[in-house]
Chain A
Amino acid sequence: MDVVSVIAYALLGGGALLALVRLALGPSLLDRVVATDTLLVIIAAGLAVYAGLARDPTVVPVLVVVSLLAFVGSVSIARYVGGMLIRSAAEEPPR
């Protein structure tokens, strides 16, 4: 049982660490959006793994919130970047 939990948390931690690497490196804003989205979902998966392994259902409502937060966050940043795109296209005369 302990072995399983160590392996599961190690896998999840590795995934979250790699997402953090992309978050730090990511050359553009959109890379960071993707990395943040993935990181939040990995956190949600980690909460679910904890709930399953410890048979502790108290974190399940947190899970709902985190998974929806990931979606709302990435969509609003994508809309923001898209808005910048429209504005810059309007200001810049076509060649």
Chain B
Amino acid sequence: MSVVVDVLALGCLLTGAFLCLTAGLGLVRFPDVLSRMHAGTKPQVLGVLLVMVGAAIRLHGWSATWMLLLVAVFQMLTAPVSAHMVSRVAYRRRHVRRDLLLVDELRTAEAQDSVHRGDEPADAPPDGRVQPS
């Protein structure tokens, strides 16, 4: 019985660590801030949750378990908030590869972003609407 539980805990820890690796990989491979934000939020939240579950199973004593539960809840509450704040600023400052967007309904709805000529990523091609080439 305890062997099964132990294997389960180790599996959770390893899967969580693997998801952290994919978070780093996505961070390097994805092309713009918004996609990198996805890589930073999703596998990371799941990875941290799995690591917390694994650690909570292996640690004896309720005190540590409660604290790990608290960390998991904080992670779920705060990750979307920080992701939203960073990605909203990223969109406004035009850190977006427009050529990779299939649809951009935010832009057609409020044509205000031509004012905010931010520092665009160096590898982004010139934007057709603002700079007709």
Interface size on B, residues (CB 8 A): 61
Task: List A45-89 residues whose CB lies under 8 Å from chain B.
Answer: 45, 48-49, 51-53, 55, 57, 60-61, 63-64, 67-68, 70-71, 74-75, 78-79, 81-82, 85, 88-89
CA distance A41 to B74 in the complex (A): 12
Contact pick for B40, options A8, A12, A38, CB 8 Å: A38
Docked-complex contact B55 and A15, CB < 8 angstroms: no
Q: A52-B51, A85-B116 are in contact. Are A67 and B95 (CB under 8 A)?
A: no
Docked-complex contact B82 and A49, CB < 8 angstroms: no
Interface size on A, residues (CB 8 A): 55
* Contact pattern, B 9-34, Cβ under 8 Å of A = 1, otherwise 0: 11001101110111111011000010
> Chain A's nearest CB lies how many Å from the CB of B68?
7
Docked-complex contact B16 and A49, CB < 8 angstroms: yes
Docked-complex contact A53 and B58, CB < 8 angstroms: yes
B interface, by DSSP: helix, strand, loop or mixed?
helix
A interface, by DSSP: helix, strand, loop or mixed?
helix
> Chain B's nearest CB lies how many Å from the CB of A15?
4
Task: List A1-39 residues whose CB lies under 8 Å from chain B.
Answer: 4, 7-9, 11-12, 14-19, 21-22, 25, 27-28, 30-31, 33-35, 37-38
Contact pick for A31, options B36, B54, B67, B78, CB 8 Å: B36
CA distance A85 to B92 in the complex (A): 8
> Chain A's nearest CB lies how many Å from the CB of B64?
4
A-B contact pairs, 11 of them (CB 8 A): A8-B17, A28-B33, A28-B93, A30-B93, A48-B71, A52-B13, A52-B59, A78-B82, A78-B86, A82-B88, A94-B115
The 8 closest A-B pairs by CB, nearest first: A18-B24, A52-B55, A15-B24, A71-B78, A11-B17, A57-B64, A78-B85, A15-B20
